[in-house]
Structure formats: structure tokens, C-alpha cells
Amino acid sequence: MAYARVLSRPRRVLVAVAAMMFLVVGTGTTAQAAPSISDIEGQINDNWNKLEPLVEQYNELHSQLQQNQTKSANLAKQIKPLQIQVDLTLTRVSALSAQLYEYGETSPLDALLTTGTPATMADQMSTLDAIAHRQSDSVKDAADLVAKYNAQKKPLDALIAAETVQDKQLSKEKTDIQNQMDSLQVLRRQAYGESGKSGGTYEPVACPAELTTGPGAIAAKTACAQIGKPYVWATAGPSTFDCSGLALYAWKAAGVTLGHFTGWQWDDTKPVTRSQLQPGDLVFYFSDHHHMSVYVGDGWVVHAPTTGDVVRMTQLSNPYLPIAGYRRPGA
């Protein structure tokens, strides 16, 4: 039985970057100017670009774990009828064994050979052979079923054991990432106040900016409908999103399934050029593709930018988002 993406790639350990979020501020008796919003914004962008790849790696690992759990459940369903067969067969064998123990091995022979006439002796011997043969077949059938059951159960046990290790690892990684998120939010509050949001108009132009038809148009319209909803890492709607979760959610509405990981979304889509961009196409940023957005036409995209912010529109030519490529799902 094939197991797609089951432990198929080395487990990446998400290392906490403990000093990443530290903001150097003036202390002591020496008066120093408070950092400007642009200075803090620069630190936020630098720190976020170190943290977001960890978020996407978590998304990959968590998605693999969910896939493995689904495979485990499906295999368990396949094994259940086989286990029932094993139990029934072993019950019958146990009953035969108990009968032989109670009456003795010669009792069936005596019963056959001391009743009837010599004329039926051959039939009686044939019946005795058939009983012995059926008992032997029952034992063999039970042994074969147990072997078949164990052959299917062994990879399931290995899968569950690996998932247990992954689950413990994910718990630690999630804590590390959240601690860094909290530190980053401190910086955002210094720049933007208690809300931590960078302000501005979430929808500066009509969204979608171009009206088209087809699956891409549905994805673009769905992405636009999420504007203003909070960024929450490792989520894919309907109330909160991270960047790949937004793309997954938008294209799901168009009937296209994407994985919750920027790397999978890059691999599972078709490349297009900038001149070929249509609403719904995906735009990837940075050389490792750790951030992405949904193109909505006329040089605008919708994305879930960073912790403490919300889903919003930005221009395709955003200086903070170096473009790595354009992709089209479902092509």
C-alpha cells in the first residue's frame, strides 16, 4: 500500500531565534531619541522575513501530520473487517479445540466406528478425514488472516509512532513560534499603538480590480471578501488567515485544492509571466517563496501580511516584497 508524503522528507527542526525580536532601546541615564516608526517598521520587516519561513515550515509539517492521520484512519477502516474475520475464525478453532479436549481425540473415531454397519465403514472413514481436514483448514485460515492483518498493521503502527513524535515536536515548535510572534507584536505596538496594526486603507481600490470569469475570478473575489480579517499563523479561514492559508481558502471556493504550504502551492501550480497575470493567480515573494498573495487585477494583490495585521490589498510593485514568480492553480 502506498503512502503519499508519509515521512517522505527529512523532518526539519524549527529553531527558535531567541534574539531575533530584541529591540535595542535607550536605557540608563543617557537620553536617546525614540526609534522612529520607519525604523521600527524596518525591524518588523527584517524580523518577520526570518520568522515567516518557520511558519510555512510548520504549515508543511502540520499538513503532513494531518495527511498521515487521515491515512491511519482509512487503514484502520480497511483492517476492521479483517479483524472481525480473524476473531470469528479463532473462535471456531477454539471451539473445536475445546471439544477435542473435553471428549478426547478418540471419541469422534469411536462414535463413528462403533455405530452403523460394515457397509458404511468407508463413508465413516471419509467423514472422519473431512472433519480433520476442516479443522486443519480452519487453523490455517486463521493463521493466514492473522499474518495478513499484521502485515497491514505494521506500517500503521509505524505511522502512528512517527506521528506521536511529530506531535510532540509540533507542540514545541508552536510554542517557539508563538513566543517570537509575541515579541514581534511588542515592536508593532511601539510603532502603531495597542492595535498593532499598521493602519491605512485595507481596500484602497475596488476589489477585484478587474472583473473576469472562471475559477480565477472566483478565487480573486473570495480573497477580496476576506479583507480586514486578522492574520493568525497556521490558519486557513474562515475567520483568520496566514498567507498560504488565504490562497488555499480562495482557490477552494473555486473548486481547486491547494496544500497549506507555500512550497506545495508553488510546486502544484503552473508558471505564468507577469504579462499573463489574471485575477486569482498567485504571486510568490523572496527566493524561498515564504510569502505569497492572490492577484486581483490592475496591479493589485490581496495578502495576509504579518502577525498583528489583517488581510489587505497592496500593490504588486511593493518594495518590501521582492517577487520570485507567478503561478496559476488548476491549469
Is the separation of the CB atoms in 192 and 207 below 8 Å? Answer: no
- Across the range 15-41, mean pLDDT stands at 52
Is 198 domain-assigned? no
Same domain, 187 and 242: no
Angle of the 215-225 helix axis to the 243-252 helix axis, nearest 10: 130
Q: Which of 118, 314, 324, 76 is nearest to 209 (CA)?
A: 314
Q: What's the one-letter identity of residue 131?
A: I
pLDDT in tens, 158-179: 888 888 888 888 888 888 888 8
Task: Calculate what percentage of the chain has a pLDDT beyond 70.
Answer: 75
Same domain, 187 and 222: no
Same domain, 246 and 283: yes
Same domain, 69 and 118: yes
Same domain, 48 and 176: yes
Of 109 and 221, more confident: 221
Same domain, 173 and 48: yes
Same domain, 68 and 180: yes
Please state, rounded to an integer, the average pLDDT across all residues of the chain.
Answer: 80
Cα→Cα distances 190→29, 36, 157, 194, 212, Å:
21, 9, 50, 8, 41
Same domain, 260 and 153: no
Q: 292 exposed, middle or buried (CB, 10 Å; 0-12, 13-18, 19+)?
A: buried
Q: What is the pTM of this model?
A: 0.72
Active site positions, annotated: 243, 291, 303
pLDDT score of 14 more than 60: no
Confidence of residue 65 (pLDDT cuts 50, 70, 90): confident
**CATH number, residue 239:** 3.90.1720.10
Phi then psi dihedrals of residue 112, to 5 deg: -75, -40
Cα→Cα distances 230→197, 255, 311, Å:
10, 24, 6
Same domain, 182 and 264: no
CA dihedral defined by 81, 87, 93, 99, rounded to 10 degrees?
-130
Domain boundary among 161, 192, 223: 192
Domain that holds residue 270: 215-328
How many other CB atoms are there within 10 angstroms of residue 132's CB atom?
Answer: 11
- How far is it, in rounded angstroms, from Cα 207 to Cα 171? 38
Residues whose CB falls within 8 Å of the CB of residue 156, separated by 6 or more in sequence, listed in order: 72, 75, 76, 79
